[in-house]
Structure 1
C-alpha cells in the first residue's frame, strides 16, 4: 500500500500530529500495570510520573479532575493498574498515557473482574427487579449462612432476639473468605433448598477489603443465589461495600444488624400496631352500630306500626287471591267453549270420511282406466293384424313361398336376368325355407 506521506515533505509538527492521531485512534483505551516513579505534583494539581517495569518505562499523566475517583493514593514504588488512552505531547515529541482510572495492582485486577462479571450477569437478567421475590412478613424460620465465630453473626442474633425472639434461627457454618469459600457457601445454599425447612436465607459477613469479600463476588456463588427457591438476603460488609451477591439477592442489607431489622418485624411495634388496630376496629364497630340504630329509628318513623302494615298486606293478599280464582274460572270457561267449537268443526271435517270418499273415487278411476286400457289394446291388436296381413302379402318371403327363388352371386349381387350369369359360375338360390349352392351349366335365355 502506498504511503501518502512519501510524496511530500512534512514539517516536524505535521509528522508529530499525524503520529498522535494514529496512536489515539489505534490505542483509544488501554490497560497497563507498572511501578510509579518520579512522581511530581505541580501547582496545577495534575500528577506526572513514570510507569516502569524491568525492561521499559512509560510517561503518564493523571489530571486533577480524575483524581477524585482514585481508589488508592499514588506514591513512588507503588504497583498500580492504570486504564487510559495513548497520546503524544507534541512540544517534546513524547508519547504518554493519559490516565482515566488507577488502582492498586491487586485490587485493580479484582475490580476489573468484578466489573466484567457484573456486566455479564446483568446482561443475563440476574439483576432484574421482576425476578426479585418478596420476603415473608413474619418468617417462622431463618437460615443464617455465616461463620459462627464472626462478629456479624452476633450482631444479627442480638438484633433478632430484640425484635422477634419467637422466630427460629438456624446457623449454617461456612467459611466466608479465602480459597473455596464461595463454593462452600454455594453448596450450603443448595443444601438449604433441598431440605426446604426455612422461609428466608441470610448471607451474613462483616466488613473487610475487596480481597476479603471476594468470595461473594464469584460467579459460582452468584448463580447459586439466583437458583435458590428460598428468598435470599445479602448482608455482606459495611454500607459502602457492594458485592455481586448483593445485586443477585432478593434483598440487600447494608449490615448484618440492618438485615435482622429488614427480615424480622419488631415485636413491640407489632404489638402496638395490633393494639392500635383493635382500638380502631372497636371504634369503627361502635360507629357502625350507632349508625344502624339511627337508620332503624328513621325507618320506623317512615313505616309506622309494622303490625298495621302487615294487616293491610293480608287484606290485599286475600283480595288478590279472590281475583285470581275468578280470573282462572273465567279463563277455563273460555277455553272449554273454544274446545267444544273445535270439536264440532273437527267432526264435520272428519279425515276418515274424506279418506273413504277419496278411496271410492280412486277405485272408480282405476276401473275406468282398466277399461280404457283394454279397449285400446284390442283396437291396437286388430290394427296390428291388418298391417301384418298387408306386409305378408307384399313380402318377398311370401313370393318365395309360392315357388319362386332369388339367384345371388357369392358377392351378394342379385341376378335379375339369365344373361347376367356365366357358365360354371357359382350361385346361391334363396328359397322360402333355405338356400341352395349351385353351378351354372347352361344358360337358356328367353
Structure 2
C-alpha cells in the first residue's frame, strides 16, 4: 500500500476533526451487537457504557432524551443491539457510537421476521410508488390516529395550529404499542372511512423495536394498502423504519414533520395571494400607461384636420374606457376571490365555531329548563294527589280515631285476638301520637 506524505502540518484539533468527518460520513447509521459493560449514569441522566465482544470493545452513549424509550432498564452484562451513528469525542480523541435505540436479546429474530415480511410484501407490490395516493393540497378535515396520552399528539396539534388552524382535526384514540395496538388501529381506519375526512395520519413517538413492532403487522399493512384515503405515517424518529412507513402513501420522520406535510403554511398562502394581487395591479397599470403613450404618439403623427382628430379622440377614449373596465373587472374578480378565501377561512375559524356551539348550548339549556319546570309541576301535582290518597288510607289516620296496634315484645308480633296474649307478656300499644309499653296481668 502506497503512503502519501504531505508537507502540511495539522494541529491535533484539525486531524481529530478530519477523522470525525470521515467516520460520521462513512458510518452515518450502524447497528452493533454486543455486551453492555462499564455502565454509568451521571447526574445529567445520559447513559455511558461500553459494547464489547470477545475481541474488541466500543464506547457508547445514550442521551437522556432517547433513554426514556428503553423497553427495560439497561444493565451490565445485557446482550443488546444498538442502532445509531459513529462519531468522535474530540476532547479525548475517542471514537464512539451515539445510540438512538436499543433492542435487547431476541430482537435479532424480530429483525429477521421484519426483513422476511418486507421482502414478501414488496414482491406483492404493496410498496409500489404508482399505487401511492397524492395528498390533498388543503384537506377540509384530518383524521389523526394516536394515543391521546403521548407527546406525539401535542407536537402534531401544535404545528397544525401554527400552519393552518382553520382545518378541523378529529382524533381517534388507539394504543400505539402492545398486542392490541394493530387491531385498534385497523378498527380506527374502518371507522374513519365512513366519515368525511380527506387524509389519515398515524403518529407516535420513538421507541425500541418491541415498542414499534405493532406497525410491522401484515394485516395492518394490507388494510392501509386498500384504504381509499391517503395515509401518512409518522412513527418514531427519523432513524425508525417500519412496514407501515413503506406501505403508507407518505412517510414523515416525526409527528411534527407530519403536520407540516399535510397542511400548507397559511401565512405563506396569504402572502402569495396578496403578492399576486399587487403584481396584477402593477401589470395592468403599466399596460395602461404604455397604451396611453402609444396613443399620444399616434395622435402627434396624424394630420391637423379637426374631424380626424375628433375620430381618433373618440377611439382613444373608447379604448381607454374598455381598458379601464377590463382592469376594474379583473381587479374585482381578484378581490372577490380573495374575499371568498377569507370568508372560507372565517367560517372555519375557532372563534366562529365556538360562538355557534355556545348559541346551540344556550338554546338546548333553555329547552331543558322548560322541560324540567314542566316535569316538576306535573310530578308535584301527582305527588299531592298520591299524598291525599295515602292519607285517606293511612293506618295513622285510623289510629287517630281512637284505635291502637298491639304488638308483643320482644318478637314484635301483632296481636289480633285476646287468646294470643298470656299473663306476664310484655305488650306495646302504638297510638296515633306515640307508643306505650305494658304488661298483661290477667
Greater relative CO (CA pairs within 8 A, separation 6+): 2
Larger radius of gyration: 1
Give the alignment's TM-score, normalised by structure 1.
0.46
Give the alignment's TM-score, normalised by structure 2.
0.46
